Amino acid sequence: MFPSHRPRRLRTTPAMRRLVSETTIRPRQLVLPVFVKEGATSPVEISSMPGVHHHTRDSLRRAAEEAVRAGVGGLMLFGVPQRRDAVGSGAVDPDGVLNAALADLRSELGDSTVLMADTCLDEFTDHGHCGVLAADGTVDNDATLEVYAEMAVAQARAGAHALGPSGMMDGQIGVLRSALDEAGFTDTSLIAYSAKYASAFFGPFRDAVESQLSGDRKTYQQDPGNGREALREVVLDLAEGADAVMVKPALAYLDVLRAVAEISDVPVAAYQVSGEYSMVEAAARNGWIDRDRAILETLTSIRRAGADVVLTYWATEVAGWLDRD
């Protein structure tokens, strides 16, 4: 009449549940993406991402210091320039907004955290694509790689510990590794955005970087319906020298994240992107969900699927909760 197995015994008290918990989140596993805007005189909240700001160089320093004090594992920097052109020249300018901000933070924080830089042109081009355009308006893969190589060296020289080439150009990891090594930056890591999908969940991010994009990025970002293709991209990036691989977005691609984690012999990251962040914030503001529980549940799902590192706009806040708990 009665069950012979009672799994509920392991759920009876908070202490028991804590003892047998299979998946944990620690502050060191979280990375905070941050936006620094050229010419900004004060931090301004991004309308589609409540709680996330366009920073000045000074307010960026304060946000970075707060994250480091909270134990966050790293920072991913994105730059928002005042001027853009067809080839994204601001990306390679040592005095450009992103490189200047990297230098600020490396000077301020040293090696106390991992400074990561977005190595992509979309923030810096007047057409909003992640690369240089050919005469027919398509993205020229190989011409883009030449700019990426220059951008990578500029970011490493500015102080980045790790680079995140997110443009999904074929061969980008191999080209960047060669360029960094030739310039003497053999210790600068490459976090390959191996599985980056052409996702609707990037919408608020376009506001964050004031994207000039018209059209879409489907010729270089992956089709949301493809899983095997992601594994092929991972294998290629590993062969080219990636130090870590990434799946982006995270929540809609947990199956891909699990498959990547099973074949990768380097750390696996996942990016909880702007749309995922904003959905939770919007639902919470309407009283439809418990905000804090939803945040932790989503982060736990990403970790459970296999992510060693999670990029999330809640990194500093969640790190404070974890230390408190």
pLDDT of 263-297, one tens digit each? 999 999 999 999 999 999 999 999 999 999 999 99
Beta bridge partners of 32: 75
Mean pLDDT for the chain overall: 94
For the chain, the domain total comes to: 1
Query: Does residue 157 fall inside a structural domain?
Result: yes
Strands (E), 87-241: 114-118, 162-164, 189-196
Q: How high is the pLDDT of residue 203?
A: 78
Distance CA 219, CA 173 (A): 18
Find the mean pLDDT for residues 122-147. Answer: 93
| Contact between 28 and 73 (Cβ < 8 Å) | yes
Side-chain half-sphere exposure of 61, counting CA atoms within 13 A: 12
- Tell me which DSSP letter residue 161 carries: S
**pTM more than 0.75:** yes
Q: Is the pLDDT of residue 209 over 90?
A: no
Residue 15 lies in a domain: no
Residue 3 lies in a domain: no
Alpha-carbon gap, residue 133 to 139, rounded angstroms: 4
pLDDT at 298: 98
Which residues are tagged catalytic? Answer: 196, 248
Q: What is the pLDDT of residue 1?
A: 76
Residue 1 lies in a domain: no
pLDDT at res. 183: 98
The CATH number that applies at residue 33 is: 3.20.20.70
- What's residue 323's pLDDT? 67
Residue 324 banded pLDDT, cuts 50, 70, 90: low
CA atoms of 312 and 250, how far apart (whole Å): 10
Mean pLDDT within 133-147: 94
Tokens of 284: 């919470």
In a domain, residue 248? The reply is yes
Portion of the chain with pLDDT greater than 70, in percent: 97
Query: Which tens digit of pLDDT belongs to each residue from 147-186?
Result: 999 999 999 999 999 999 999 999 999 999 999 999 999 9
Q: Is residue 17, in this structure, part of any structural domain at all?
A: no
Name the region of 234 (left: φ>0; alpha: ψ -120 to 50; beta: rest).
Answer: alpha
Contact between 130 and 113 under an 8 Å Cβ cutoff? The reply is no
- Whether residue 174 lies inside any domain: the answer is yes
State pLDDT tens for residues 2-12. Answer: 888 999 999 99
2 belongs to a structural domain: no
pLDDT bucket at 206, cuts 50 / 70 / 90: confident
Q: Residue 91: which domain range?
A: 23-324
